[in-house]
Amino acid sequence: MAEKRELFDIDEVFHIMEVCLFAGVFLSVLINSLPVVKSAQRYFAGQAYQGKTDPRPVTATTTLQHLDLINAFPFTPWSWAHFFNRGPNVVKIGINDLNNMFEILPYQHYTVDRIGADERISYIYYITDFGFAQVDITGEY
């Protein structure tokens, strides 16, 4: 009499079930991580150098004012900024920090270069001690 053979070996069935379970868990983790990957892509796209210049003429007064480059256009930090004080008074400029301001005399230029730095230019603060000053600020992102 011929030997009766089973259609499936029980070990093969368990192996197939393990592979399917592993694939399901892997796909679940992958699908759940997609929003994080998209968020990271948007962040790094904002940090990427685009080679666009952004001129901003401002009037500094005795009231502290600022340019917010993250939460307003261009929604990305600048790589460098160039300042020209058209006068008539001295202007104080702060880059990302109010406690570290520098002065620009009337009719003087100043450039801040953050290319390759860990922190780019996100905020620019400006104020005068008295009167006003016309300042041309040009940045590149």
pLDDT score at 10 = 72
Supply the CATH number for residue 71's domain: 2.60.120.10
CA–CA dist 68, 64 (Å, integer): 13
Residue 128 banded pLDDT, cuts 50, 70, 90: very high
pLDDT score at 21 = 79
Looking at the 3D structure of the chain, how many domains does it have? 2
Helices assigned H by DSSP within the chain: 10-47
Q: Is a pLDDT exceeding 60 seen at residue 47?
A: no
Q: Is a pLDDT exceeding 60 seen at residue 91?
A: yes
Domain limits for position 37:
9-48
13 and 78 housed in the same domain: no
134 and 91 housed in the same domain: yes
104 and 43 housed in the same domain: no
73 and 92 housed in the same domain: yes
How far, CA to CA in Å, does 141 sit from each of 36, 45, 54, 72? 24, 11, 8, 14
DSSP 104-118: E-TT-EEEEE-TT-S
72 and 98 housed in the same domain: yes
